[in-house]
């Protein structure tokens, strides 16, 4: 029996929500017919369109391997990383849109400044004013395990921009910031918890969360985002009593 070629090709239709605020009154859908291989990811298809069909298409990407977090976009209505989704898993028509809730600069490129402002507000770095010991700051494997999941965040914004609370109120600090606060709040060596909880306890902080779970479903790193938010809520309540 003949063996099928390793890279089967097929025709797909790619619908991309385009918008250039300098030229367009409103966003519109552009369509491209593309020959894709079964091994292609959505990022490969976007490259093919940009490099061979329409050089004006704009999107961010860097590592192409699920590490840098720069190519989060809405693919067939779901927040994903374009470099991690295989075309063969999406059917013959693929839709691509920018992530929601952030201002579109051009096509898939959104203004990430508000997202990073929230991230910076939770002091996402190690704080410890106790003089350093002569050796290492020891931490047991069990203590390290408590915040292991939240160390895996790549700041792609898929969680925050899938949150209905964030869509309605762009001032909500958002799940990504809370995840990155969690990473330090539960680090036994850190001493900045009170400052972080003060930020998170404010009006647009973590009490805005309505446990919608979209964030957990959207996270390409499999971080239990909602669980992390609930952990931080409990910590805040515990410290208030
Ligand atoms: Fe992305 Fe997950 Fe981090 Fe949110 S928690 S920014 S979805 S990696
Ligand atoms: Fe939003 Fe996630 Fe809470 S989707 S409402 S931050 S559980
Ligand atoms: Fe870096 Fe996709 S390009 S995560």
Q: So what's the pLDDT on residue 230?
A: 98
Q: What topology does CATH give the domain 113-240?
A: Fumarate Reductase Iron-sulfur Protein; Chain B, domain 2 (1.10.1060)
State percent of the chain over pLDDT 90.
94
- Who's near 136: CB < 8 A, 6+ residues apart? none
Q: So what's the pLDDT on residue 14?
A: 98
pLDDT, the chain, mean? 96
Structure-model confidence comparison of residues 137 and 7, the more confident one: 137
Every domain of the chain and the residues it spans: 9-110, 113-240
Residue nearest to atom 1 of ligand 1 (CA): 156
| CB of 99 shorter than 6 A to ligand 1 | no
Q: So what's the pLDDT on residue 38?
A: 86
Which pTM value belongs to this model? 0.94
Lowest mean pLDDT among 3-12, 41-50, 154-163, 231-240: 3-12
Residue to mutate (ligand 3; options 44, 67, 85, 99; most atoms within 8 A of CB)? 67
Which ligand is nearest to the Cα of residue 227, counting in written order?
Answer: 2
Q: With 70 as the cut, is the pLDDT of residue 5 above it?
A: no
Atom of ligand 3 nearest to the CA of 72: 2
Q: Give the tens place of pLDDT for each residue, 122-142.
A: 999 999 999 989 999 999 999
Q: So what's the pLDDT on residue 7?
A: 60
- Who's near 25: CB < 8 A, 6+ residues apart? none
Nearest to 209 by CA among 224, 226, 221: 226
Q: So what's the pLDDT on residue 34?
A: 97
State the pLDDT confidence band at 2, using cuts at 50, 70 and 90.
low
Distance in Å, CA 58 to ligand 2 centroid: 29
E runs forming strands in the chain: 9-18, 28-37, 72-75, 78-81, 93-97, 104-106, 109-110
Q: Give the tens place of pLDDT for each residue, 179-211.
A: 999 999 999 999 999 999 999 999 999 999 999
CATH superfamily, region 9-110: Beta-grasp domain (3.10.20.30)
Residue to mutate (ligand 1; options 179, 209, 214, 218; most atoms within 8 A of CB)? 179
* Cβ neighbourhood burial of 82 (10 Å; 0-12, 13-18, 19+): buried
Q: Is 110 helix (H, G, I), strand (E, B) or coil?
A: strand
Atom of ligand 1 nearest to the CA of 158: 7
| CB of 14 shorter than 6 A to ligand 1 | no
Q: Give the tens place of pLDDT for each residue, 20-75.
A: 999 999 999 999 999 999 899 999 999 999 999 999 999 999 999 999 999 999 99
């Amino acid at each position: 029996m003949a063996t099928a070629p390793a890279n089967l090709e097929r025709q797909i239709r790619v619908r991309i929500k385009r918008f250039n605020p300098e030229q367009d009154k409103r966003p519109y859908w552009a369509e491209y017919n593309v020959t894709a291989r079964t091994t292609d990811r959505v990022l490969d298809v976007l490259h093919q369109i940009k490099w061979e069909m329409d050089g004006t298409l704009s999107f961010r990407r860097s590592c192409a391997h699920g590490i840098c977090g720069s190519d989060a976009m809405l693919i067939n209505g779901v927040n994903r990383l374009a470099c991690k989704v295989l075309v063969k898993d999406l059917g013959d028509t693929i839709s691509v849109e920018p992530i929601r809730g952030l201002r579109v600069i051009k096509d898939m490129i959104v203004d990430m400044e508000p997202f990073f402002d929230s991230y910076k507000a939770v002091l996402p770095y190690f704080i410890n004013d106790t003089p350093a010991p002569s050796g290492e700051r020891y931490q047991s494997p069990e203590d390290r395990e408590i915040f292991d999941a939240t160390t895996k965040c790549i700041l792609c914004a898929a969680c925050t921009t899938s949150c209905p609370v964030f869509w309605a109120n762009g001032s909500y600090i958002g799940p990504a910031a809370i995840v990155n606060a969690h990473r330090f709040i539960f680090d036994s060596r850190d001493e900045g918890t009170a400052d972080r909880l003060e930020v998170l306890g404010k009006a647009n902080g973590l009490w805005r969360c309505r446990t919608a779970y979209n964030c957990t479903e959207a996270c390409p790193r499999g971080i239990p985002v909602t669980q992390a938010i609930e952990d931080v809520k409990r910590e805040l309540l515990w410290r208030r009593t």
